[in-house]
Amino acid sequence: MSYPKQLHLGENLADLEKLYMKLPPDIKDRELDIICKSARKLIEQSERHYINRDEELAYVGYMKLMNLVQVIRKNKDYARKKEAVARLLGTQSDFVRIFEKLEKLKDSLEARYQERARQKCPTAGGMNRVAIVDAGRDHRSGQDTPPTFEPTVAGERQTVSATELHTMMNDCRVSMLIMDCRPGKDFEASHLRYSFLVNVPEHLLVPGMTAGKINHALPPESRTLWSNRMVKDQVVLMDWDTSGAPVKDTSIYILNHILCNYDQDIEDTKIVRLDGGYESFLLHYPASCTNPSYRPPVTLNGTGDNIDDIEYPNISDIPMKEESFTKPGFKPTIDRNSKVAAVTLYEARKKPLEDILVEHEQILDKSKQNALDIINTETELQNLNQQQPLEHGTVDETQESLLFEVMQLKDRQRDYEAEKARILEEEEKYKELEQEQRERGEQISTERAEQLERQAYERRLRDKEREQRELEEKCQRLAREREAKLALAREQKRHLKENVPGPAKRFYPENDPEQRTAAPASTGTGLPLFDRSAKPLADHNQNLRSLRDLDVVQRDFAPVYGSVGRGLTGLKNLGNTCYMNSILQCLSNTYFLNEFFHDPSFKMHLNRNNKTQGKIGEEVAAVIKALWTGQYKCIASKNLRYVVGQYERQFGGIEQQDSHEFLTILMDWLHSDLQTKQMQISTSLDQLPPSEKAWIEHFKGKGSYISELFYGQIKSTVKCTRCHKESATYESFSNLSLELPQDSNICYLENCLDMYFNGEEVRGWHCPKCKSNQDAIKKLDISRLPSILVVHFKRFYADPDTMATVYRKKQTLVKFPLSELNMSRYLARTEVNRNKRLTTFRYHLYGVSNHYGSMESGHYTAFCLNNIHQKWFKFDDYNVSSIDASDVQASAAYILFYSCLPDRPQSDVR
């Protein structure tokens, strides 16, 4: 029998790690075939070293192979060439044997390194490894036998005790990976002494997370361990102290859900949980933990545990809707008896006043430049019309693009006017404060120069305002001239319409109201109202084959080729389909949905037994993947429009529709197309909390990746004002539809959320306790926050001052945060108490669907944050351009897309 070769590469395993972690810096950019050939050579070399008993070289080679396999799996061609890679490198069973060799090599090398260290330093005799024979030895026969145990079954879940896990850890024949899902700081402070242990931090475990995204979010040193789940016989999950069935939406519950439902690599791996968590193991085997004295920080819960059934103990604590848009006055309270207080107050306000004057000048400069852009665009449009006169009210693509640009510039000019009004109001309030102090004879400034400087600044502002008014008058004159020409063209069209049948051409909706139906409107349910009877039958694109014969491989994207950045491909307007394009671009930039559709395994989740038979999900996935190839300047979503037209006729035609209505229906379709996951219930339905029971009943016991990402739940509480009896109901939502103030040019998202969630009086509510109709207060709260929060503004309303039903649009500029949107204040008290992790949710904005224009004439665009470039881009049908983050807030904002998921640059999406 040959002996292992002498140690020659290092003094311990850490030295070997430095060798196998080194890969060529350009390895990720090489062709997949070349990388696979390198991996094949590594396998052959490592096998030779293993046969020759050079344990160090064999260990380094095999570990380097594992790192190379991770590179191969991330390659853009891996999904397409998966079978070829398997033929070249081997199957999963082959890699299982490699991992077994790695375990043997690791144990042997550890023992040899320790023996060499002991020989060099004989005094360190107590350094021998703890004998583990007793853990797996049959004392009666003296033979080593694998540890045997029966996992404790908790409901439908399997668990192992601390004693059983300790036995498994100390037997090298047990193939196991332990996943510790405690917070990273707790893991660093104290964890198990075990080689195959990986920390999956709690902050990564939110609904909508996938195994692939966990891999990319983990630090490099943890990814190799995470990949071990593919070859281990079992995975043990562990948190701090969970016993029995885990509570829904806790970290260990979500990790188990991800591994069972969204990780195709571990279909045959057994998943169990450590009963009692790390706390139980720490109590039984402190010597097997790195820091036995560590305890997690105690979180005090001031609300107590006795309020599960009471949302509002005091009815006076419920804020009312009429308080939503009222803000305290700007003028601060002043102690009239203290001259020092007044002077101090003025000194504190002097700097903000200077800032306001600077902001005023900046707004004037932007407004002036925008007015010049309007004039230039109007002039360009007039010149184009002179060269190519309008024919019976029709417009070509260039004219339409210029008209849309004018529309957007005018909306932006309106925003500048709203900002100016706000700034002027703040200036006036400061000046009032200053005047009051002067009247009281208080010395507010000792330097005359400051006053002269401010007066000069104000004169400069007045000059700029005068210049801007002149430009605006010119803009209005050009607009009136264009309207006159369009009116003449429409008149000509009416005379010629019956006698001269013209060719089928696109009509700009502003020019021909007869060809346009009602634009978006709001009904009592928050969905836009449409006159369906006035709509023509959907144009089904006769060049496409029937749905039954549709070849999904040969989709007609009609691409315009051109090398652009990934995710920066535009969408052609197929006859007023800008509403659809706007929503598709926002969904395309929904990072986790994008990744899900890029994974070929998503088709395994398709539901073929529903109304749409999974076809909506397939077509949306195809469009998103085409948008991210980076090969096209723009594409056409013909097949998607055709398929959605089969199920909702208005979306298959060439008429303008409402983007919010399309999004709401599309979310329901996508959820239904992917609704294949049975919801796990640890107890009977009647024993569940009311919110959980309502959630399961709403989705009929089956969930989807869409419901995990986009759907939340609202709790509606009605409280009797007489006996204070509460009654609660629950309703699921995929977006929140918020009211806007009626007579305000500017407001804040917080005001709109307050208006939605604050209380309102209900007359004649039948109280179950009083047994009669009573006055009550109804209050909404969030009982379940979604990972992707979609917010819709109700901009369209029926004008009450008109005899016939006429819809208007609110042009209110809503100031919304681009990051750090905190929704915890809108959570139901009972739900916070049940799941404290909800309070950590912070949302960042990544998409906006915009509507420009009015009810009679409108256009949709999208602003999206690209995760690769980390920049904002404007998607205006086929035109894509970068924009500054400061331009994202606009009165055109119609639908906001927020995410609380731990997004990373999209380098892994192929």
pLDDT the model gives residue 177: 94
Task: Tell me the per-residue pLDDT of 231-268, one tens digit each, with 9 for 90 and over.
Answer: 888 999 999 988 877 877 788 989 998 998 888 777 77
Does 436 or 418 have the greater pLDDT score? 418
pLDDT surpasses 90 at 671? yes
pLDDT the model gives residue 334: 37
pLDDT surpasses 80 at 656? yes
Lowest mean pLDDT among 30-39, 71-80, 899-908: 899-908
Q: What is the mean pLDDT of the segment spanning 541-565?
A: 60
pLDDT surpasses 90 at 188? yes
Indicate which residue of 792, 851, 859, 864 is catalytic: 859
Lowest mean pLDDT among 115-124, 317-326, 496-505, 853-862: 496-505
Tokens of residue 752, six digits: 């709109």
pLDDT the model gives residue 217: 86
pLDDT surpasses 60 at 512? no
pLDDT surpasses 60 at 490? no
Q: What is the mean pLDDT of the segment spanning 478-499?
A: 59
pLDDT the model gives residue 684: 76
Measured CA angle at 348 (ends 344, 352), to 5 deg: 155
pLDDT the model gives residue 98: 85
Structure confidence at residue 550 as a pLDDT band (50, 70, 90) = very low
Indicate which residue of 578, 634, 752, 900 is catalytic: 578
Q: What spatial distance separates the first Cα and last Cα of the chain, rounded to whole Å?
A: 50
Quickly count: other Cβ atoms within 10 Å of residue 14's Cβ: 9
pLDDT the model gives residue 461: 66
pLDDT surpasses 80 at 90? yes
Pairwise CA distance, residues 783 & 76, whole Å: 40
H or E stretch covering 726: strand 726-733
SS (H, E, C) 809-869: ECCCEEECCCCCEECHHHECHHHHHHCHHHHHCEEEEEEEEEEEECCCCEEEEEEEEECCC
Q: What is the mean pLDDT of the segment spanning 741-770?
A: 91
Structure confidence at residue 316 as a pLDDT band (50, 70, 90) = confident
pLDDT surpasses 50 at 540? no
pLDDT the model gives residue 376: 81
Structure confidence at residue 138 as a pLDDT band (50, 70, 90) = very low
Where on the phi/psi map is residue 908: left (φ > 0), alpha (ψ -120 to 50), or beta? Answer: alpha
pLDDT surpasses 90 at 818? yes
Listed in sequence order, the residues at least 6 apart from 641 whose beta carbon sits closer than 8 Å to its beta carbon are 541, 574, 577, 580, 651, 652
* pTM, to two decimals: 0.69
The architecture (CATH level 2) of 560-676 comes to Alpha-Beta Complex (3.90)
pLDDT surpasses 50 at 449? no
Structure confidence at residue 439 as a pLDDT band (50, 70, 90) = low
Pairwise CA distance, residues 906 & 909, whole Å: 6
Pairwise CA distance, residues 383 & 485, whole Å: 13
Lowest mean pLDDT among 480-489, 559-568, 630-639, 757-766: 480-489
Q: What is the mean pLDDT of the segment spanning 774-786?
A: 93
Side-chain-facing half-sphere of 591: CA atoms under 13 Å: 24
pLDDT the model gives residue 442: 56
Lowest mean pLDDT among 18-27, 338-347, 409-418, 457-466: 338-347
Q: Exposed/middle/buried for 202, CB within 10 Å: 0-12, 13-18, 19+?
A: buried
Share of the chain above pLDDT 70, in %: 75
pLDDT the model gives residue 571: 96
pLDDT the model gives residue 511: 37
Concerning whether 859 is annotated as a catalytic residue, the answer is yes
Lowest mean pLDDT among 13-27, 439-453, 658-672, 698-712: 439-453
Concerning whether 723 is annotated as a catalytic residue, the answer is no
3-state secondary structure at position 736 = strand
Task: Tell me the per-residue pLDDT of 579-604, one tens digit each, with 9 for 90 and over.
Answer: 999 999 999 999 999 989 998 888 88
SS (H, E, C) 601-647: HHHHHCCCCCCCCCHHHHHHHHHHHHHCCCCEEEECCHHHHHHHHHH
Structure confidence at residue 521 as a pLDDT band (50, 70, 90) = very low
pLDDT surpasses 80 at 840? no
pLDDT surpasses 50 at 907? no
pLDDT surpasses 50 at 123? yes
H or E stretch covering 394: none
Every domain range in the chain assigned CATH 1.20.58.80: 13-116
Every domain range in the chain assigned CATH 3.40.250.10: 159-288
Q: What is the mean pLDDT of the segment spanning 94-102?
A: 80
pLDDT the model gives residue 329: 33
Lowest mean pLDDT among 408-417, 714-723, 727-736: 408-417
pLDDT mean across residues, the chain = 78
Structure confidence at residue 524 as a pLDDT band (50, 70, 90) = very low
Top mean pLDDT of 439-453, 521-535, 809-823 is at 809-823
Tokens of residue 583, six digits: 């929503």
SS (H, E, C) 475-516: HHHHHHHHHHHHHHHHHHHHHHCCCCCCCCCCECCCCCHHHC
Q: What is the mean pLDDT of the segment spanning 486-498?
A: 55
pLDDT surpasses 60 at 554? yes
pLDDT the model gives residue 492: 56
pLDDT the model gives residue 523: 36
For CA atoms 564, 566, 568, 569, the dihedral sign is positive
pLDDT surpasses 70 at 127? no
pLDDT the model gives residue 450: 57
Does 435 or 638 have the greater pLDDT score? 638
Task: Tell me the per-residue pLDDT of 408-430, one tens digit each, with 9 for 90 and over.
Answer: 888 888 887 888 788 777 777 77
pLDDT the model gives residue 278: 93
Pairwise CA distance, residues 432 & 563, whole Å: 58
Pairwise CA distance, residues 636 & 658, whole Å: 19
Does 69 or 307 have the greater pLDDT score? 69
Tokens of residue 76, six digits: 């853009």
pLDDT the model gives residue 169: 92
Length of the chain, in residues? 910
Every domain range in the chain assigned CATH 3.90.70.10: 560-676
CATH class belonging to 13-116: mainly alpha
pLDDT surpasses 60 at 848? yes
pLDDT surpasses 80 at 508? no
Listed in sequence order, the residues at least 6 apart from 664 whose beta carbon sits closer than 8 Å to its beta carbon are 527, 734, 735
pLDDT surpasses 70 at 828? yes
Task: Tell me the per-residue pLDDT of 555-585, one tens digit each, with 9 for 90 and over.
Answer: 889 999 998 989 999 999 988 899 999 999 9
pLDDT the model gives residue 559: 92
pLDDT the model gives residue 682: 66
pLDDT the model gives residue 744: 81
CATH class belonging to 159-288: alpha beta
CA 762 from chain center: how many Å?
36
Residue spans of beta strands (DSSP E) within 260-393:
270-274
Lowest mean pLDDT among 281-295, 452-466, 591-605, 663-677: 452-466
pLDDT the model gives residue 24: 82
Structure confidence at residue 305 as a pLDDT band (50, 70, 90) = very low
Q: What is the mean pLDDT of the segment spanning 364-387?
A: 78
pLDDT the model gives residue 806: 79
CA-CA-CA-CA dihedral for 885, 886, 888, 890, to nearest 10: 180
Q: What is the mean pLDDT of the segment spanning 148-173?
A: 69
Pairwise CA distance, residues 11 & 703, whole Å: 52
Select from 257, 147, 251 the least CA-distant residue to 203. Answer: 251
